Amino acid sequence: MGNIFFAILCLLYIGVENVNAQVPKTYKNGIVVSAHPEASKAGLQILKAGGNAVDAAVAVQFALAVVLPSAGNIGGGGFLVYRSASGKTNTLDYREKAPGAASRNMYLDSNGNAITEKSLYGHLAAGVPGTVDGMINTHLKYGKLKWKQIMQPAIELAEKGFAITEAQAGELNKNRDAFEKYNPSGFALIKDELWNAGDQLIQPELAHTLKLIRDKDRAGFYEGETAALIISEMKRGGGLITKKDLAAYRSVWRKPIVGKYKDFKIITMPPPSSGGIALMQLLHSAEPFPVKRWGFNADSTVQLIVEAERRVYADRSVYLGDPDFYSVPQEQLLSLAYQMGRMRDFQWNRTSVSTDIKEGNITDRESEETTHYSIADSYGNSVSVTTTLNGAYGSKTAVKEAGFLLNNEMDDFSVKPGSPNMYGLIGGEANAIEPGKRMLSSMTPTIIERNGKLFMVVGTPGGSTIITSVFQTILNVIEFSKPIQEAVTVPRFHHQWLPDEVFLETDALTEKTKNILIQKGYKLTPRGPIGRVDAILKTNSGYQGGADPRGDDTSLGY
C-alpha cells in the first residue's frame, strides 16, 4: 500500500508548476517554498508588499499555524537560519524548554520502565512553547514591515477559513478519536461528520489568539489572557507549565555551524539541534570519495552514505544535547580528521554492524510531522526555518478557548537514557530531562553559499530522517547536477545506526543495486515517503524552487 500511495502522490502533482523538474520556473524578485499553498501565498503577499525574507518568514510561520495544524504552530518551537544580502549569518533557537517542574524520571513507572503515552499525548507531554517569542525576536532584529501587517494574513485565514486539502481531510479523520479523547469539550478540528477535501476550516478562537499576539506582541501569548488559558489547561489535564515558565521563556541567538564542502560554504544550525553537526560530519565523510563518478544512488554511493550515517548517528546518541546544560564537543566532532578516522574501519566488501559501532573517542525516535519553509527576497536576504509540534498534531491537546495545539516535545528528551524514543533514536545523558532544558532535535535548516554568493536554501521535516534527507538533497544538486525540483523529488533512503536497517522509498534503488547491497549483508526495508524537502536554488537568472510532491508543498514567487 505504501508504494502505491507514494506513486499516486507523485502522479497527482505531475504537471503542476511546483513539481516540474525539467523546466523549473525562475523568479527574479523573491520566492517562498512551504508545506501549504495558503502559507506560501501569505509569504508571497508580504514580499510583494515590500517585506524582506524575515517578514515573510514570520507571516508563513503564523499562517502554517492556521492551515497546517499537524505541524505548523504557535504551541511548539523551531530553528531559524538567516543570511543577509551582505553575507552576514545568524541562527535563532526557539526550541521548546522543559517546564520548571520537570524531572529526570517523570515518564518512568515504579520499575523504571518508560510510560510511552505520558510523553506522547496529553498535557504532561508539552514543553514550554517557543514559536511566538522566536518570531517576535526575529522580527525585532531583522524585520522591515510593521508587526501588525505581517500578522494579518494568518488572522484572515483563521477568521475567514480556508479549504482543506484531500491529504488534510484524511489526517483530520484519522486523528478524530485522539482529538475527542484529549479535548472532550471540543475544538475547531473536531466536527460531527467526517472531513472532506474542500471543506472550510474556520478557527475563531485561534483568530482571537493571533489578534492578541498582533496587538500585544509577546504579552499577547506569554502573559495575560492566553497565558491564563494555558495555565487553566495545564491544571485541567495535569500538565506542568506554569505562569513562571511562560514568563521566563526566551528564544536564543546562537552562532551558526559554518563549514566547507569543496567550493561551498555550509551555514547550518548548532545544538540543541543535532542537525548541523551531523550534516557537516556526513559531508566530511563523502568529500574524499568520487561520488560524482559513481553516480546517483549507485551501490558504492549508497554504501558510503549508509556507513557515514551509521557512525554519525552513533555520535549523536552520546555527544549532542542542549549546550546550555551540556558541554558539546563541537570542535572535535566537526574536525575533518576526526570524521576520516571514524570512516577508516568500514570495508567495501561487507556491511558494518551497528552493534559494533560505538560513539567516537573524544538516540530517541523523533516525530516526522515537522514542517519546513525556505524564503529568499528581492534584497538578497534568505531564511531557512524548520518548526514543529513534534508528533502529528503534537500532544493532540488544544488550549481550551485559545484554539491552538500544544506540542509533545518532551518525548524528544531521553526519557530513559539508552532507550529509543518514538522515532527509534537512542539518547544518552546529554539529552536527559532537566528543568529549563531544551530537548535535542534533528531539524537541519541550512543555507549554502558559493563564491561568497547565495547558492541554496534547504530543509525538511522528517524527524530522524531530516539530516539524511537534507544531506542527500545537497548531494543531488552539487554532485549529481540535478535541477532543484528533481533534487527534491527523487526517491530517498535513510539509515540511523539503530535500528540497523536501510529504509528505502519506492524506486530509490535499482534491483541490481539492491542485490549488491544485500549480498554484502545490508538489510533493506521498504517504507513510505521520507521527508518533505522545500528548497531554493539561486541561479544567474533568479530563484528556482523545489517543493516536495510528497505533500501539499508549494513554491511561489514573482
Catalytic residue among 226, 370, 388, 554: 370
Cell of 441: 532535535
Residue 254 backbone phi and psi in degrees, to 5 = -125, 155
Q: How far is CA 67 from CA 32, 230, 394, 404, 497, in A?
A: 16, 21, 15, 12, 35
Least Cα distance to 406 among 53, 57, 160, 130 occurs for 130
What does the DSSP 8-state code read for residue 20? -
For 68, 195, 429, the CA distances from 154, given in Å and listed in that order, are: 11, 22, 40
Residue identified by cell 531554493 is 536
Hey, how many other C-beta atoms are within 10 angstroms of the C-beta on 223? 15
Name the 3-class secondary structure at 24.
coil
Q: Phi and psi dihedrals of 26, rounded to 5?
A: -110, 130
Listed in sequence order, the residues at least 6 apart from 292 whose beta carbon sits closer than 8 Å to its beta carbon are 479, 480
| CA distances in angstroms from 117 to 178, 237, 391, 396, listed in the order given | 12, 14, 12, 12
Instruction: Tell me the DSSP string of 318-373.
Output: HH-S-TTTS---HHHHT-HHHHHHHHTT--TTS---GGG--PPP---PPPS-EEEE
Residue carrying the nine cell digits 552539487: 478
Sheet holding 446-450, edge to edge: 26-27, 543-547, 534-538, 453-459, 446-450, 264-268, 257-261
Whether 280 and 268 have beta carbons less than 8 Å apart is answered as: yes
Q: How far is CA 361 from CA 336, 342, 357, 476, 550, in A?
A: 14, 9, 12, 31, 39
Cell of 259: 563549514
Does 370 participate in catalysis according to the annotation? yes
Q: Quick one: cell of 166? A: 484531500
**What residues are labeled active site?**
370
